[in-house]
A and B are shown apart, each in its own frame.
Chain A
Amino acid sequence: MIPSARAAALVFTFASLGAGPSAAAADPALLKDLGAVIVLLGLPCDRLVSAARQADGSHIAACRNGKRYRIFINAEGRVVALRQ
């Protein structure tokens, strides 16, 4: 492999690894899990379309109808979803 092509491959690899939020948005298991939380908490959300993990460990979940929730586990061990 020529050096420039190798460098391009490395850049692409690291760029892919660093794409945290978009990778989380595509994770169907996480979407399903957070969607279930929203259902359990009785919050309005027609369909969850994306979810992104934040630096503090919480997740931002976005619904198709535009509603967004920050979902996290509070100090008492309860799952909380706050409307953003």
Chain B
Amino acid sequence: MKSASIHAGILCIALGTALACAEVAQHGDTPPAPASTAVVVVEQARLIVVPAPVARKPEPPLNVAELKTRLRETRAIGTFAKLALRNQMDDLVQEFRSRHLGGQSNSVVNLRQRYDLLLLKVLVLIQDGDPPLARTIADSREAIWSILADPEQFKSVS
């Protein structure tokens, strides 16, 4: 029946599988379609084939200055959010500074929860608008923490 064949053809295009299209072409009730029609079906099926994902080369971990720069440059968040984020990052860095300068470097482990929470907020804000940066920041989580927690490495943080 002609209408059944048309429905099968639509299904074939919707599913986008060459195998389903070949089935329709071979077992349809109607006489074989002209060669040009068959080519169109195959071409449409090809259009929605998704290329295999290319292996992502991970970026090197960010340091604190690079993190600030990347967040300043991203378009994933607006001006107010960037400023609020900078305020909170500066507050946290100041907290680390006062502990390192006060000879309380052992107590910086208590700042880990605050650090994790801030990083989590950053990721929530940028993960949709700038997924590569979100991945890089997530991958840099431990590297940035080690810079902040270590009194010697912290000296490089402005």
Instruction: Give the interface of A toward B (CB within 8 A).
Output: 29-30, 32-34, 36-37, 39-41, 71, 73, 77-79
Q: Do the beta carbons of A40 and B78 come within 8 Å of each other?
A: no
B87 touches A78 (CB 8 A): yes
**B78 and A79 contacting across the interface, CB-CB below 8 Å:** no
Q: How large is the interface on B (under 10, 10 to 19, 20 to 34, 35 or more residues)?
A: 10 to 19
Q: Mark B54-77, 1 if CB is under 8 A from A, else 0.
A: 000000000000000000000001
The chain B residue sitting closest to A73, CB to CB, is: B83
Q: List the B side residues contacting A77 at CB < 8 Å.
A: 83, 87
* B110 interface residue (CB < 8 Å to A): no
List CB contacts (< 8 Å) of B16-74 with chain A: none
State the B residues within 8 Å of A (CB).
77-81, 83-85, 87-88, 121, 124-125
A71 nearest CB neighbor, chain B only: B80
Most A-side CB within 10 Å, residue of B79, B80, B83, B85 = B80
Do A36 and B83 touch across chains, with their CB atoms under 8 A apart? no
Apart from A33-B79, A71-B80: 5 A-B pairs, beta carbons within 8 A: A33-B80, A36-B77, A40-B121, A77-B87, A78-B84
Determine whether the beta carbon of A36 is less than 8 Å from that of B87: no
User: B78 touching A30 by the CB < 8 A rule?
Assistant: yes
14 contacts between A and B (CB under 8 A): A33-B77, A33-B79, A36-B84, A36-B125, A37-B80, A37-B81, A37-B84, A39-B121, A40-B81, A40-B85, A40-B125, A78-B83, A78-B84, A78-B87
Residues of the B chain whose Cβ atoms lie less than 8 Å from the Cβ of A36 = 77-78, 80-81, 84, 125
The minimal Cβ–Cβ distance linking B91 to chain A, given in whole angstroms, is: 9
A36 to B88, CA, bound (A): 13
Tell me which residues across on chain A come within 8 A of B83, comparing CB atoms. Answer: 73, 77-79
Shortest CB–CB separation between residue B6 and chain A, in angstroms?
41
Q: Are A40 and B79 in contact (CB under 8 A)?
A: no
Tell me which residues across on chain B come within 8 A of A71, comparing CB atoms: 80
Q: Which A residue sits closest to B129, measured CB to CB?
A: A32
Is A33 touching B78 in the complex (CB atoms < 8 A)?
Answer: yes
